[in-house]
Amino acid sequence: MFCASCGAELTAGSAFCHSCGTRIAQVAEPSAFRPQEGRPRGIGRSGAGPGPGAYQPAPPPAARTGLTTAGVWSIICSVLALVLIPPLLGGIAIYLGFRAKKRGDAAGDLLIVVGVVALIAGRVIDTILWTQAR
């Protein structure tokens, strides 16, 4: 059996052509197949892989080297959490750190830790300021 799209020989029971990735719906006999002019059988025009239209998996996403917008806002909230409303801004900083990590920011784990430290340090600073004010 041969692929109707590229003419490659098919293995019995395959659902897709191993050469071009075309779904095997109709099987052509070798005598009925006429390859396209100027194109080698079973490979793409460059001669280095499947032809156009063949399924090719997407490459894995690379980790970002710069900070995302969520990363920048996480740092801003962490700094503000030291002085203003630590539970709220520290929590927002931690959330934005998780969001940056989910979007592929390489510093996502560090942003989460910075948010937690800012939350705790902000609470300690608030406690010290409130006890001295009394």
Q: Can you give the residue ranges of every domain in the chain?
A: 1-57, 69-133
Distance of alpha carbon 71 from the chain centroid:
17
Q: Which residue has the higher pLDDT, 60 or 39?
A: 60
Q: What angle do CA 112, 116, 121 make, to 5 degrees?
A: 145
| 78's tokens | 């962490």
Asked if 27 and 13 touch (Cβ cutoff 8 Å), the reply is no
Predicted TM-score of the model (pTM): 0.47
- How many other CB atoms sit within 10 Å of the CB of residue 23? 11
Q: What pLDDT, in 10s, does the model give residues 7-24?
A: 788 777 778 787 787 877
Q: How confident is the model at residue 54 (pLDDT cuts 50, 70, 90)?
A: low
| Measured distance CA(88)–CA(5) in Å, rounded | 60
36 pLDDT above the threshold of 80: no
Q: How confident is the model at residue 51 (pLDDT cuts 50, 70, 90)?
A: low
Q: How confident is the model at residue 27 (pLDDT cuts 50, 70, 90)?
A: very low
